[in-house]
A and B are shown apart, each in its own frame.
Chain A
Amino acid sequence: EAQVTQNPRYLITVTGKKLTVTCSQNMNHEYMSWYRQDPGLGLRQIYYSMNVEVTDKGDVPEGYKVSRKEKRNFPLILESPSPNQTSLYFCASSKLGLTMNTEAFFGQGTRLTVV
């Protein structure tokens, strides 16, 4: 089954304690990205990757890191989480634009609370 898998689904942590949210896709998609969803703000892109070892900042990258060592995995790293990073996070993958249909497939979401 084609899917994007995020872990964990829920996480409560303390300020400053490094954490990683994993994301894996089995569709051989080149493009992967991370979004955060906040009430009234919709979805905002944090980082994206067009292929292995190619990553770039989205609209709200501050406080986050990513890596793309393998095509299927795109972990999101918070080196020193702060309460303003409390949010609902989604990983997504899609084909790149040359194929025209760049429809994104989303993971189930990770609800992160930083206290």
Chain B
Amino acid sequence: ELKVEQNPLFLSMQEGKNYTIYCNYSTTSDRLYWYRQDPGKSLESLFVLLSNGAVKQEGRLMASLDTKARLSTLHITAAVHDLSATYFCAVDAGGGADGLTFGKGTHLIIQP
């Protein structure tokens, strides 16, 4: 059974600081996705990582995938309040046939 673990589950940080969210998964996969969810809203796709060594950047967020270590990271650079949200990683280990398995999410609060 595929397990996806995110940490931390909760993070409060100040604006301007850097931090990394980690996503570990338990079985071979080269498809990993990051989503953002604002309170009361749906999940919005942030990054699609489809190969070992993939790195994607959008603004102050950068995601990477190491399939050998079964690890993805979401790095936040010089955080701003607007990045406050819950971030989920999700892994597809079944060629899409089993759907995505989600981590429990990282609730990120960025304080001025």
With A31-B96, A103-B33 given, is the CB distance from A108 to B88 under 8 Å?
A: no
A104 CA / B31 CA spacing, docked (Å): 12
Stretch at the interface among A19-27, A43-51, A61-69, A70-78: A43-51
Interface presence of B59 (CB below 8 A): no
- CA–CA, A48 to B101, complex, Å? 12
Q: Which residues of B contact A58 (CB under 8 A)?
A: 99
A53 to chain B, nearest CB (A): 16
The reply on B48 being an interface residue by CB < 8 A is: yes
Q: Is the CB of A102 within 8 A of B96?
A: yes
For A97, the chain B residues whose CB sits under 8 A away are 92, 94-97
Interface of A toward B, CB cutoff 8 Å? 31, 33, 35, 40-45, 48, 50, 58, 90, 92, 94-98, 100-109
A100 and B31 contacting across the interface, CB-CB below 8 Å: yes
Of all chain A residues, the one with the shortest Cβ separation from B45 is A103
Are B88 and A43 in contact, with the CB atoms below 8 A?
Answer: yes
Chain A residues within an 8 Å CB radius of B25: none
The answer to whether A96 touches B43 (Cβ under 8 A) is no
Q: Could you say which residues of chain B place their CB within 8 Å of the CB of A106?
A: 35, 42-44
Which of B13-21, B60-68, B69-77, B102-110 forms part of the interface with chain A? Answer: B102-110
Residues of B contacting A101 in the complex (Cβ-Cβ under 8 angstroms): 31, 48, 50
